[in-house]
Structure 1
Amino acid sequence: MKKRILALTLSVLMAASLAGCSKQLSNEYITVKQYDGLEVAKVETAEVTDENVESVIQTNLGTSAADGGITDRAAENGDRVNIDYVGSVDGTEFEGGSDKGSVLELGSGSFIGANGDYKGFEEQIVGHKSGDEFDITVKFPADYQNADMADKVAVFKVTLNGIVPELTDDWVKKNSETSKTVEEYKKEIRKQLEDNNKESMENTLQNNALEAIADQVEVKKYPDGALDEQINSIKEYYTNMAAAYGMEFKDFVEQAMQMTEEDFDKQAKEAAETALKRKLACELIAEKKNLEPSDKEYEEQIAEYAENGQYESVEDFKEQVGEDTVKNAIRQQKVGKYLADNCVQVEQSDSSTETAK
């Protein structure tokens, strides 16, 4: 079910993020009035701070604890530890009471503290070594934010994966492919964050350009059956989402989406029309501007999608999502980059921001 919903989500999102561009382009279905020089909201690249760098380093240290943490002593107050835990009350696991790879500073008071005859969660980890599996019994306070758990006694099965190591040159040499010292590692992490921020900025700009093209598209007619197919795809997505929550479609629309089925049908039709306009525009621009990806580009990108989506194979991914849907997404990415490279970024005033909202 989860894979099916992921596939449908990808299908809907890919159909809804296309493009267009300056001189008019036209075919039997649409006319794109402008595609070069589109005005889009200016996008700034986020600054990387020392705090950002430190946060990533601490996360990496915590993640490495299970493989290369401190193993020659027991955990002490003030240590950061990597733990798995499963909590239960009267033998029944409860929501929010389990986690894997959680990094906790002992003595920080982040977890349940001492209560009457019951010791606190963190102090019961002190004295254990990496690899130990043990039970911790705690009592939730009477004023606990989740009233259902107030005053309840819970047992947590805990695995101490490791004690988080300090950042040293030795740790860096074992955990970085390029850095040898702490200072080099900090520069490496900063560069990674800067690259990520730049990529995020470029993606946002491309999305803005793809959205801007919708106002430049005039539709003459839709391909036979294309609009109904898009509407059905949207409805199928939400029908499956309702099923995942154990709800009938009608109840899901009314309760979760706060609308009537009639309102849903109206909005689904509008969304389908917008998605289809953009899809047709993207195909037209790709054809006229020689932006259609090569077979090699398609296969490489499809393989990346399959890997990121943790599918068993590329063929499994194609079958689940649909090869045509994936190819549309890849084409849209390429056209989106072209639009972004040729757009005009403009500052947004407060009034235009409010209007957009």
Structure 2
Amino acid sequence: MKQEKQKVDSSMSLSKQRKIERQREIEHQKRQKKINAIIGVCVAIAVIVGIGSFVGYKIYRSVTKIVASTDYSKYIADNGFIDGVTANSSITLADYKNITVPLSEVEYSDESVETDIQTKLDEHKALSAETTAAIADGDKVNIDYVGSVDGVEFEGGNSNGEGYDLEIGSNSFIDDFEQQLIGHKVGENLTVEVTFPTDYTNSPDLAGKDAVFQVTVNGIYVAPEFTDAFVKENLSDYAQTAEEYRTYLKETNYNTNLETWISKYLVDNTTVSSYPKKYTAQLASTMKNSDYSYYETMKAYFASYSADYANSTFEDYIGMSEAKYDEQLKTSAKESTKSALIYQAILENEGVTVTVDECKAYLMENGNTEEQLTTQFEQYGTGYLVQRMVQIKALEIVKGLVTVQ
């Protein structure tokens, strides 16, 4: 077909061929104009959509962005209740008068008590030069050392008789230096042989070389015994004897576990029909203020240590976009609002109220000074602080009604 058409074309007069070519060119131009017009419309639409999306997102963020607020007591009355809200009208409260709590889920075991005591004793370890115990993994020891390579002492390899505290297993020293101390006792002198890493950047001249350390064990940090005397000296705010402190640990942690269990039960078995919008939004704003204030504090503190901290943004700190953070914050605010409604509803049912004086007395009993009290009320306001007492009082009421078995 193509060959036949070519033959016909060749038989046409030159003027006719040019006329046909001109018509084709005109038709091509017309088609191209239409295509360009369509493309232009598409591009315009895309630009408009793009601008619209950008503007739309800016408008969306202006509406949805949470603005940090320092007014923690806004929408909270001085009695700790959400201002203008009857909690029982907003939620279907769990049956808090007929709760059975499994003892196994809230009791604090004797093993846990002893673990806590050992942790406390470890905090009071003291260096002993008289202990006959051998060094074990995890021990903290004090040593002196002199290091050499090919018989020549190297810079930084001498403790100069000042003693050096070293925790065995911390891998603070190169190679297996620490492990070679295990089994040795106070007063012993020993030789420790190590090899510096090939990529030892602290002192490239030592990289990959074998070294010998002459080490003297000066002492081992030993934990004191848990006695009445230890309790009186270090834990007198909680107890006077070792047995009293064990009881204190058991009862305090049992109480904490019980409150945690009850709080979760109340949340899981309560439904919210309507959230107080202004209070919930304000709660999210104060939450953001707390997070942002902490970020600013950390940034200022670490700025002198690291340029990364000095140049960090709030989004770097939270590890996500601020938009995503705001969405998560709204969810957290609703969860906290639900809890506030639950505790308020319990006091509404029981006809119980909380006073500012009760709140101040509680804070004083828990270690706050008059000056700290003044600062807290100035920073957070009355409603916010008294609302915490609403929760405490509500939990006390429920604890008095539950059955633990």
Q: TM-score, normalised by structure 1?
A: 0.53
1:234 matched to 2:299: no
In structure 2, what is the equivalent of residue 32 of structure 1? 91
Q: Distance in 2 between matches of 1:312 and 1:166?
A: 36
Secondary structure of the residue aligned to 1:313 is helix
Q: Distance in 2 between matches of 1:279 and 1:116?
A: 55
Q: Distance in 2 between matches of 1:37 and 1:305?
A: 27
- Pick the structure with more helix per residue: 2
In structure 2, what is the equivalent of residue 206 of structure 1? 262
Of 291, 308, 313, which aligns to 1:248?
313
Cα RMSD, aligned residues only: 5.4
Q: Distance in 2 between matches of 1:28 and 1:241?
A: 32
Task: Confirm or deny: 8 A CA contact 1:214 1:278 kept in the other structure.
Answer: no
In structure 1, what is the equivalent of residue 5 of structure 2? none
1:197 matched to 2:253: yes
Task: Confirm or deny: 8 A CA contact 2:356 2:386 kept in the other structure.
Answer: no
- Count of aligned pairs: 271
1:300 matched to 2:357: no
1:270 deviates by 3.2
Amino acid at match of 2:227: V
1:140 deviates by 9.2
Amino acid at match of 1:198: Y
Name stretches of at least 5 consecutive residues in structure 2 with no aligned partner: 1-68, 143-154, 157-164, 208-217, 234-239, 300-308
Amino acid at match of 2:374: E
1:298 deviates by 1.3
1:205 deviates by 1.9
Q: Provide the identity percentage.
A: 16
Q: Distance in 2 between matches of 1:342 and 1:291?
A: 15
Secondary structure of the residue aligned to 1:30 is helix
In structure 1, what is the equivalent of residue 346 of structure 2? 285
1:246-297 CA distance string (max 9 Å, x none): 43234444xx14xx43333333333333433442443343244133234443
Secondary structure of the residue aligned to 1:36 is coil
Secondary structure of the residue aligned to 2:394 is helix
CA, structure 1 residues 268+47, in 2 after alignment: closer, same or farther (shift >3 Å)? closer
1:330 matched to 2:386: no
The correspondence of residues 1-357 of structure 1 with structure 2, limited to 5 A, is 27=86, 30-37=89-96, 42-43=101-102, 44-46=105-107, 48-49=109-110, 51-66=111-126, 73=130, 77-78=134-135, 109-112=168-171, 126-127=186-187, 142=197, 163-164=221-222, 167=225, 172-177=227-232, 187-188=243-244, 190-212=246-268, 214-215=270-271, 217-219=272-274, 222=276, 225-243=278-296, 244-245=298-299, 246=309, 247-253=312-318, 256-257=319-320, 260-304=321-365, 307=368, 313-342=372-401
Q: Distance in 2 between matches of 1:81 and 1:189?
A: 27
CA, structure 1 residues 187+31, in 2 after alignment: closer, same or farther (shift >3 Å)? same
Secondary structure of the residue aligned to 1:230 is helix
Amino acid at match of 1:209: Y
Structure possessing the higher radius of gyration over alpha carbons: 2
Task: Confirm or deny: 8 A CA contact 1:70 1:162 kept in the other structure.
Answer: yes
CA, structure 1 residues 139+236, in 2 after alignment: closer, same or farther (shift >3 Å)? farther
Q: Distance in 2 between matches of 1:119 and 1:281?
A: 55
Amino acid at match of 1:297: E
Amino acid at match of 1:249: F
Q: Distance in 2 between matches of 1:276 and 1:46?
A: 29
Task: Confirm or deny: 8 A CA contact 1:45 1:201 kept in the other structure.
Answer: yes
